[in-house]
Structure 1
Amino acid sequence: MSYLRAFSIILICLFLGKSSQSLLGLPIPGSIIGMLLLFGLLSAGLIRANWVQSGCHILIRYMALLFVPVGVGLMDHLSLISANSLPILLSTIGSSLVVFLVIGVAAHHKEK
């Protein structure tokens, strides 16, 4: 019964996030909005953590299987990825450097 409750809460938050994203036309994915909604409900104490804990443990346990469709999609579009490998590589390196710089500056200011 706890699995049913956990998955129901998670799916309701997901569907509310996707619905609000499509209705409002937000540039943020609906799944992210749903996750933020679930976080807000947990933080506010409207939903207790043990209500969703069993469902979250199952999703985390089988998370590797959830990446199989992504891997198949990458293999299906390998020619497109290889044709754009330089921009992908440069944007990956550039964004990593920006993250390292921001974390370094934030840690420096926190130490003061």
Structure 2
Amino acid sequence: MIVQFLFIFGITYLGELISTLFSLQIPGTILGMLIMFFLLSTGIIKVKQIEKAANILLLNMAIFFLPPGIKLVDSLDILKGNWLKLILIAVTTTLITMVVTGKVVDFFIRRKK
């Protein structure tokens, strides 16, 4: 299973490396996800090759939100006057994300049939 973690983190690092070397505006983590998507969708790697490590990461995803949450609490004085705007932005972007995700999943389901 350590090999699976190394592979996942290696792909993420590759995305960071590409982003840095070519001074791209796309974050390296996003590039890493795109690389992983390409590798999985083309069958270069199989889901079974990374499944256990990916499931562990998904089960512990809440841990990854702790540092940003703590930083947010540290910045409460800056955010005091902007709560309504922040809530509006959060709701709007959540809805946009849900719609786009639904459309993409629908597209791939139709494409598979």
TM range (shorter): 0.7 to 0.9
- Describe the shift of the 1:81–1:6 C-alpha distance in structure 2 as closer, same or farther (beyond 3 A): same
**Structure 1-normalised TM-score?**
0.75
Where structure 2 has 5 or more consecutive residues not aligned to the other structure, the ranges are 104-113
Question: Is 1:8 equivalent to 2:6 in the alignment?
Answer: yes
What is the 5 A alignment of 1:1-112? 3-95=1-93, 99=96
Shift of 1:94: 4.7
**CA distance in structure 2 between the aligned counterparts of 1:60 and 1:90, rounded to whole angstroms:** 28
Count of paired positions: 100
Q: SS in structure 2 opposite 1:37? A: helix
In structure 1, runs of 5+ residues without a counterpart are 107-112
2:23 corresponds to which letter in structure 1?
G
RMSD between aligned residues: 2.3
Cα gap change, 1:28 to 1:86, in 2 (>3 Å):
same
* Maintained 8 Å contact 1:5/1:51: no
Give the fraction of aligned pairs with identical amino acids, expressed as a percent.
34
CA shift at 1:84, angstroms? 3.0
C-alpha separation in 1, matches of 2:94 and 2:57 = 28
Contact 1:17 1:34 in 2 (8 A): yes
Pick the structure with greater CA Rg.
1
Deviations 1:11-58 (A, max 9, x none): 111011001111122222111110110110011111111110010011
Q: Which has the higher contact order (CA 8 A, sep 6+)?
A: 1
Q: Secondary structure at the match of 1:84?
A: helix
